Amino acid sequence: MPWPSVADDPVLEMIVSEEVRQNTTLQLIASENFASPAVMAATGSVLTNKYSEGYPHRRYYGGNMVIDEIEDEARRRVCALFGADHANVQPHAGAIANMAVYQAVLEPGDTVLGMSLDHGGHLTHGSPVNFSGQQYRFVSYGVTASDERIDFEDMAAKAHAEKPKLIVAGATAYPRIIDPNPLREIADEVGALLMFDAAHIAGLIAGGVHPNPVGIADIVTFTTHKTLRGPRGGCVLSSEQYAAAIDKAMFPGIQGGPLEHAIGAKAIAFAEASTPEFSDYAALIVSNAAALAKALAGHGFRLVSGGTDNHLLLIDLRAFDPDLTGKQAQTVLDTAGISLNKNTVPDDPRSPFVTSGIRVGTPSVSTQGMGPDEMGEIAELIARALRGRDDAGVVDSVRADVGGLCSRFCPYPGLGV
């Protein structure tokens, strides 16, 4: 075929460089994971060529007989996995899934209760720099000053005072279980709808290690690429009552043609997540996070809320070293081959661009098959690099040890060579 030749395109080399980076450095970003070869094969398949605006058996274009089967299968699998009545598997991302829900159930200017960004909420939960905070009137709840867990009393008081149309639960940097039951009670007391944004913890729910909000919340959204370990994308689950409004908001309301290569990959990820091996994996994520928390505390780090019940830890660096910012820590650790992100801690005196904390997650290292011993090694590597951050020799020695650890648990053998 007369394809233009791109054999010497530098981007192809850059992809190999990224394969090398993922294979030889530690990925501790809590929202990342390593997708399976089957998921990656689907995302790189001919499904990317097809236009399929609309929904299965109601498409705008012809030629969708196979695509319809794939999208139907994805919807069936995810409904079975979470026990939902209806699924929309088309959102290009988690943010779009949330946008479609808001468009389906709210009018511009409506009041919504969501978790504040600096206490662990997501941009789409009402941040003023995000469409959510610009189009709707978000009121924030957060965590208590004492135990740094969700302040249900304050949330209930705000719900009664503000009478929100919708309560948004879920977080992006919160290390504890979020029980959907007290949220349902508060929503019922004030006649609000409840949306549970399970973006981060969908894999923990699918694996049976965290409570399932489906059937308790009216609507559940999530991303497919975080703990669920599928392709980059989003999903919305709901009862039949909201199905038509959500589908209409997604298309034609917000998106055009769905990414059917991502939907095929989602279907594969949903099947993978329904296996006993995936339940073991979800349990390993949580036990690794607990082991890492314990080991880091032993090196003098303070854990926000005192520990973790999920896949992530939020570390307040001030107890370890009051002069060390999250921004500096992220930079030093990047040099040492440890990839994670700076993060505000509750009531952080530093700005979101500087921060006093870092967020550390175990989904990727658990996919690699690391266990509690390796969590101890990782804690030691982090502590050593941060203590010796002004000494290039120390940072280099950590980088070498990271390479050794990764070579024993290579995520993609054969790639990046």
Q: How far is the CB of 195 from ligand PLP (least distance, A)?
A: 11
Write out the two tokens for 282.
């979800």
Annotated catalytic residue, options 25, 124, 172, 223? 223
Write out the two tokens for 145.
């000053």
Q: How far is the CB of 320 from ligand PLP (least distance, A)?
A: 26
In the bound state with ligand PLP, the residue whose beta carbon lies nearer, of 33 and 172, is 172
Q: How far is the CB of 93 from ligand PLP (least distance, A)?
A: 3
Strand ranges for 299-345 from DSSP E:
302-303, 312-316, 338-339, 341-343
C-alpha separations of 411 from 147, 254, 285 in Å: 37, 36, 16
In the bound state with ligand PLP, the residue whose beta carbon lies nearer, of 89 and 405, is 89
- Nearest-5° Cα angle at 358, 353 to 361: 130
Residues that bind ligand PLP (CB under 6 A): 31, 93-95, 98, 122, 124, 170-172, 197, 199-200, 223, 234
Note if 226 is an active site residue.
yes
In the bound state with ligand PLP, the residue whose beta carbon lies nearer, of 223 and 330, is 223
Note if 25 is an active site residue.
no
Q: How far is the CB of 319 from ligand PLP (least distance, A)?
A: 26
Shortest Cβ contact with ligand PLP: which residue?
A: 94
In the bound state with ligand PLP, the residue whose beta carbon lies nearer, of 70 and 95, is 95
C-alpha 296/C-alpha 302 separation (Å) is: 8
Tell me which residue has tokens 């040492």: 336
Annotated catalytic residue, options 110, 111, 162, 232? 232
Closest by CA to 77, choosing from 267, 262, 282, 239, is 267
Q: Are 326 and 354 in contact (CB under 8 A)?
A: yes
C-alpha 307/C-alpha 330 separation (Å) is: 21
- Which residues have CB under 8 Å from 397's CB, separation 6+? 384
Q: How far is the CB of 51 from ligand PLP (least distance, A)?
A: 23
In the bound state with ligand PLP, the residue whose beta carbon lies nearer, of 122 and 210, is 122
Q: Is the dihedral of CA 27, 32, 33, 39 positive or negative?
A: negative
Closest by CA to 169, choosing from 179, 159, 158, 160, is 179
Note if 223 is an active site residue.
yes
Annotated catalytic residue, options 59, 158, 165, 226? 226
Question: 372: helix, coil or strand?
Answer: helix
Write out the two tokens for 241.
């009552």
Q: How far is the CB of 224 from ligand PLP (least distance, A)?
A: 9
Q: Are 352 and 372 in contact (CB under 8 A)?
A: no
In the bound state with ligand PLP, the residue whose beta carbon lies nearer, of 64 and 172, is 172
Annotated catalytic residue, options 53, 85, 162, 377? 53
Annotated catalytic residue, options 148, 197, 218, 374? 197
Note if 331 is an active site residue.
no
Note if 51 is an active site residue.
yes
Closest by CA to 95, choosing from 248, 225, 226, 233, is 233
Q: How far is the CB of 64 from ligand PLP (least distance, A)?
A: 25
In the bound state with ligand PLP, the residue whose beta carbon lies nearer, of 196 and 301, is 196
153: phi then psi, degrees, rounded to nearest 5:
-65, -45
115: phi then psi, degrees, rounded to nearest 5:
-75, 135
Catalytic residues: 51, 53, 197, 223, 226, 232
